[in-house]
């Protein structure tokens, strides 16, 4: 099946610094990528939808200036958490849709655990 | 209002028995899709099964089947012959066709523990 990678898998950073998380579709082209946030023992909350070559669409309550999303190519989307604070500590998961695949298929990355100290 | 409701925060099942995980949904769209994902402790989301709103037959994938009752807006997951490796969080999700884009929404999840 299609593979989505995320890098890094874990990151610890100091409060006030920025962190970039990469999401790559390894063997398919992804016109749409989704970024989720998951707190321990809770559901995935959609943060934003990014389409290649256009601005991301953010969900209500998600600060677009804090969570910068760039979808520069059909295989790469990045999420940058700017001026991170401890409350940004979470599990971030990306997923991607294959532009040529079955319409409903959505492939998930393995997630990135961010800890802000 | 919650679009996806999973009322069972935790479920226990004996190995080799069947278990049903509940999911109800709320949508006014005619075209939508329902999904179940498994999330083991490692964190990755594993796709299990899909049911389209226009599919007349219940979806099946190996030991997984989806009991789709459209009028009741329910999409329960049935796992037959449970295995120890089935212990994980299970999420029901829905994708609605809204304004030309597919917007996925997840339920709160059900933690399944399979006892030997």
Q: What does the pLDDT read at residue A2?
A: 73
A113 forms bridges with which residues in the sheet?
A10, A91
**Chain B residues contacting A via beta carbons under 8 Å:** 33, 35, 37, 42-47, 50, 52, 91, 95, 101-109, 111
Cβ pair A77, A97 in contact under 8 A:
no
Measured distance CA(A109)–CA(A88) in Å, rounded: 19
Residue A5 above 70 pLDDT? yes
Residue of B nearest to A9 (CA): B43
pLDDT digits (tens, 9 = 90+) for B43-66: 999 999 999 999 989 999 999 999
pLDDT digits (tens, 9 = 90+) for B19-33: 999 999 999 888 899
pLDDT digits (tens, 9 = 90+) for A17-43: 999 999 999 988 888 899 999 998 889
CA distance B62 to chain A (A): 16
pLDDT bracket for residue A51 (50, 70, 90):
confident
Using the CB atoms, write b or e for B37-65: b if 16+ within 10 Å. Answer: bbbeeebebebbbbbebeeeeebeeeebb
């Amino acid at each position: 099946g299609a593979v989505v990678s995320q890098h890094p898998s874990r990151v610890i950073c100091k409060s006030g610094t920025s962190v970039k998380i990469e999401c790559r579709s390894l063997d398919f082209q992804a016109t749409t990528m989704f970024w989720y946030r998951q707190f321990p023992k809770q559901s995935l909350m959609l943060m934003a939808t990014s389409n290649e070559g256009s601005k991301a669409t953010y969900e209500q309550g998600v600060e677009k200036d804090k969570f910068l999303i760039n979808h520069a190519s059909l295989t790469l989307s990045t999420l940058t958490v700017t001026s991170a604070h401890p409350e940004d500590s979470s599990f971030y998961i990306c997923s991607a849709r294959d532009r040529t695949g079955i319409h409903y298929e959505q492939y998930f990355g393995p997630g990135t655990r961010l800890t802000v100290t | 209002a919650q679009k996806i409701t999973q009322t069972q925060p935790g479920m226990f099942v004996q190995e080799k028995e069947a278990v049903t995980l509940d999911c109800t949904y709320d949508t006014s769209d005619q075209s939508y899709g329902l999904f179940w994902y498994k999330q083991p402790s490692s964190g990755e989301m594993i796709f299990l099964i899909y049911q389209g709103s226009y599919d007349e037959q219940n979806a099946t994938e190996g030991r997984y089947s989806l009991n789709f009752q459209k009028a009741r807006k329910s999409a329960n997951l049935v796992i037959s012959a449970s295995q120890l490796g089935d212990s994980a969080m299970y999420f029901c999700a829905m994708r609605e066709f809204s304004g030309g884009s597919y917007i996925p929404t997840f339920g709160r999840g059900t933690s399944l523990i399979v006892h030997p």
